[in-house]
Amino acid sequence: MRDSELVVDCRDPERLAAFWCAVLDFKVIDRNEGKVEIGSWVPTVEDVRARQMPPTLQFIQVPGGKTVKNRLHLDLRSIDGSTEDEVTRLLALGATTTDVGQGSDRNWVVRADPEGNEFDVLRTLAP
């Protein structure tokens, strides 16, 4: 058994996939009506058979919007820039500031994607 993909229910899979592709530098791997799958690279059939495919994000269209705090979220960390620069970039891409009760004394910040799904931006790994 292995982690294959993280599925996100959403109203607009194309819009959310485009946002997360820009955030993570991912590419669209597959798209069907009401579904878009993205990943860090587009695998070949041989890659999949050899289990060389990293987990992907899959956006599935559902009716209605998000109504409560996520029970699962992504933690993101910049590897080559400051946390502040990364947060600025994410906001320019369409992320929003959100509060889930994290408090101001944390070394990470909470943001939300264009459909309100929360994610954390952790302290950078850059020197």
Ordered by start, the domain boundaries in the chain are 5-61, 74-122
Query: When comparing pLDDT for 2 and 5, which is higher?
Result: 5
Domains 5-61 and 74-122 are alike in CATH topology: yes
Give the predicted TM-score (pTM) of the model. Answer: 0.86
Question: Residue 68: pLDDT band by 50, 70, 90 thresholds?
Answer: confident
Residue 86: phi, psi to the nearest 5? -65, -40
CATH class of 5-61: alpha beta
Sign for the pseudo-dihedral over CA of 46, 50, 56, 62: positive
Q: Note the pLDDT tens digit of each residue in 45-66.
A: 787 677 667 889 999 999 988 8
The topology (CATH level 3) of 74-122 is 3.30.720
Assign residue 101 a region (left: φ > 0; alpha: ψ between -120 and 50; beta: otherwise): left
Is residue 96 predicted with pLDDT exceeding 80? yes
